[in-house]
Structure 1
């Protein structure tokens, strides 16, 4: 549409956290926690030390964040630190086992409440072959559990292959080889799981498993798989196994456990997300993932220092009652990076010659360090994922700040007349072919790490471009060095041989960079449940086709035709926005979303504000969305 008519923290939050913003650092920790928990929990196979390792990871992240060279690389940096902590834990465990072999049973006792295979089956409602895959992961070699934790997240869309490679410290090609071997092990384990469950079952298999204690392990996987390969009856059980990649694609992150989310609600889904519109227990595509923190949403106990916290056994979950925010406060009070710290990450910038001290609001500041009383107050951004399309109107800057949006765009490379609130990021767009100029590209490069591209090229009244024209201009957009979104088609993003499909095919064949898919969606069906289901199905179909993160940059309820646009009642629009954003929070591959749009006029009746502070019912729903 014309400008006149959405996991992990955004780079803006990371930048603010590095500069000492207390709320931003709290948000960064909260937004990072679900990913860290999923990596650690699966890599440690639900061991009782999961909480300890998650705590150690977050402590290292906060301690070394000021030294991070590139805020845009925060996610890769976070994953690398997490894997390093997992490896350190494994090394400590092996040393302990060698020293005290008689305690082997104790060291290897998993926490029943943290068994990731079991929780994945139970809490994501997996069925049939997806259930078998989750169970098969229990049989993997220990060294492959670490790889599995990353590959699983890659398949959900939460990580990219280069991030997996960076975390493991190997090349993407080597990652591919290791993943291939690991998938062969899982496939073998799936056959074992299915054969063991078969009724009435194979007598020879029961005899082969006579000495097995019932606990899955790599040794018994190999023994039982050997029988299955040689047994005609058991071999038939594995004849209908679907490829693992198809079964895991789009599977959401496992939500934080109740013991954690109860004390850290800002890192968990709201209760309404438990059963989204159209949810059915047998639908494996519906699950839960964590949202982003609300600033100040966790009580802070400033009496706990970093040393006290780190010394606590299994410290993270119990301590989160006084919060992960207590971790944040303790470390942001004084963050010291020692010059000779042997544990400093190799990918961080060299530590400064002096300690880095980040004051909290309660710290004593020198007159020169005290913030000016005239400094603008940061808005209560409720989610870095949540954005809005903006064009100028009376009071636009105040309305944008009041909306609690984490980002916005203007269908251009500038935001003339619009003041960007603190904590909010502006994302530029190269709207059409006529905007591919040196001046516009320079402004886009300077505006930030992301770049939106050609707006609805499949419509004559918008950028009106052929696929070949867009592909010809694409190398010039690549010169900005930005993360590039695909052209945002008006519809048909998942259609074979549609505009977007032909563009993506051409970009792939030419080796062009496309970092995420940009989509628009307007629902002509004004029933909330139906509209939310249609939007979810569209997003899932697009992700299945391209396997790239998605930005939904225009969406609302709106019908076209009959000489104009038709809108539902404001209350209906608000109900749809609430249900839709809840659903979007459950799709980990939807990185950002933007409502259409900020102004509410007689023409654009899906808008959020009629003026600087005149918020519509839809605007109030947007303010509450995450």
Structure 2
């Protein structure tokens, strides 16, 4: 998502093409797994979150906010990870930017393709255009992290496993039987059961980036997340899973600031001030 998060759900695993051999996790500039999915731009917010436990952020764009570009020192030690949200990009421009920042080792691609209000690409459409991402990787050496899958709204493809299976099959059909370049798989999750969801995705043989996560469970009695205390409990559990699973390379909380905030997910209150949820995210132990 760029303004709101993905969905949650469950379901049985589907049959899939044979999984490729797992690659080495993509190298990263920051050694810190923990990040933030939010358009960070305020120097005070960077300062409040600094201290080593949160090392990177994504704003769903190739470049940081204009305020950061104008004064890059405000970002401190935090790394901006670029994203190509869909296929609306000029390859030459992207390559030129990435070559201007050789420290960038990973590129996030294709945000929530099976959500009709997000990237909204069928498996066949994504398979046809995926080589454009591969060409960027070929020219720059970046690792491709994506697609960023979740439970979606596209007819026939609400289950991310169903979408991925069809995407891989369509890519093989269109490109001589070879597999798409996917150096790590991105996933979004907003409910209970993160560990089980990742287990479903293990069959693809890829390391994971959880590029959006929180718990937005609603309408289920006491399980509904309707207080900061409940969100903090879920945050602690999700962070523990991400920190202890060796196949999770990075993870990012959604979001920095949101008003109104019905799910108590905001890390920031006023500029440079962490909420109690934000204070916990910064202080939770790393593995």
- Same fold, judged at TM 0.5 (above): yes
CA distance in 2, matches of 1:462, 1:445: 28
Match of 1:616 among 242, 261, 275: 275
Alignment partner, residue 484 of structure 1: 144
Q: Contact 1:536 / 1:583 at 8 angstroms: preserved in 2? A: yes
If each structure's strand is expressed as a fraction of its own residues, which one has the higher value? Answer: 2
**Would you say the 8 A contact 2:83–2:107 is kept in 1?**
yes
Displacement after TM superposition at 1:500 (Å) = 1.9
Equivalent positions of 1:405-424 (< 5 A) are 405-416=54-65, 417-418=67-68, 419=72, 421-424=75-78
The equivalent of 2:93 in structure 1 is 439
Distance 2:190 2:207 in 1: 20
C-alpha deviation, 1:476, in angstroms: 1.6
Alignment check: 8 A CA contact 1:549 1:590 kept: yes
Query: Following TM superposition, by how much is the alpha carbon of 1:440 offset from its aligned partner in structure 2, in angstroms?
Result: 3.6
Structure 2 Cα separation of the partners of residues 518 and 559 of structure 1: 21
- The correspondence of residues 147-546 of structure 1 with structure 2, limited to 5 A, is 160=24, 384-392=32-40, 395-401=44-50, 404-416=53-65, 417-418=67-68, 419=72, 421-435=75-89, 437-444=91-98, 446-447=100-101, 448-481=104-137, 482-491=142-151, 498-507=162-171, 509-523=177-191, 531=192, 534-543=193-202, 545-546=203-204
SS of alignment partner, residue 433 of structure 1: coil
Deviations 1:441-484 (A, max 9, x none): 53345441101011111111111112222222211211222100
For residues 256 and 148 of structure 2, what CA distance do their matches in structure 1 show? 19
Task: Determine which structure has the larger helix proportion and give its number.
Answer: 1
* Deviation (angstroms), 1:624: 1.5
Q: Distance in 1 between matches of 2:147 and 2:90?
A: 13
SS of aligned partner of 1:455: coil
Kindly state the Cα deviation for residue 623 of structure 1 after the two structures are TM-superposed: 0.6
| CA shift for structure 1 position 400 | 4.2
Instruction: Quote the offset at 1:388 in angstroms.
Output: 0.7
The question of whether the paired residues in 1 share the 8 Å contact of 2:215 and 2:231 is answered with yes
Relative distance call for 1:437 and 1:539 in structure 2 (3 A) is: same
RMSD: 3.1
After superposition, the Cα gap between the structure-2 partners of 1:571 and 1:497, relative to the gap in structure 1 and judged at 3 Å, is closer
Q: Where does structure 2 lack aligned partners over 5 or more consecutive residues?
A: 6-20
How is 1:38-53 mapped onto 2 (pairs within 5 angstroms)?
none
Deviation string 1:489-528 (CA, Å, 9 cap, x unpaired) is: 22279958611222233445334311011000001xxxxx
Aligned residue pairs, count = 241
- Once residues 574 and 464 of structure 1 are traced to their aligned partners in structure 2, the CA distance between those partners, rounded to angstroms, is 32
Instruction: Report the TM-score, using the length of structure 2 for normalisation.
Output: 0.73
Mapped pair 1:579 → 2:243:
no
Shift, 1:427, TM fit: 0.7
Listed one character per residue, the Cα deviations across residues 553-603 of structure 1 (whole Å, up to 9, x for unaligned) are 111011479xxxx85311111111112211222211111111112224324
TM-score (norm 1): 0.35
CA contact (8 A) 1:551 1:590 kept: yes
Structure 1 residues 229-260: Cα deviation after superposition (integer angstroms, max 9, x where no partner): xxxxxxxxxxxxxxxxxxxxxxxxxxxxxxxx
Contact (CA 8 Å) 2:57, 2:252: kept in 1 or not?
yes
The answer to whether the 8 Å contact 2:45/2:272 transfers is no
Question: Which structure 2 residues correspond to residues 584-599 of structure 1 after superposition, within 5 A?
Answer: 584-599=242-257
Deviation at residue 611 of structure 1 after TM alignment: 2.9
Structure 1 alignment gaps of length 5 or more: 6-154, 162-380, 524-530
Residue of structure 1 in register with 2:2 after alignment: 2
Measure how far apart 1:392 and its partner are.
Answer: 4.6
Write the deviation string for residues 384-410 of structure 1: whole angstroms up to 9, x where unpaired: 111111215654433443684111111
Residues 434 and 494 of structure 1: is their aligned pair in 2 closer, same or farther, counting only changes over 3 Å?
closer
The structure having more radius of gyration, on CA atoms, is 1
**Given that residues 457 and 463 in structure 1 are in contact (C-alpha distance below 8 angstroms), is that contact kept between their aligned partners in structure 2?**
yes
Equivalences for residues 118-157 of structure 1 within 5 A: none
* Secondary structure at 1:583 match in 2: helix
For residues 3-152 of structure 1, what are the structure 2 equivalents within 5 Å? Answer: 3=3
Which has the bigger relative contact order, CA under 8 A and spacing at least 6?
A: 2
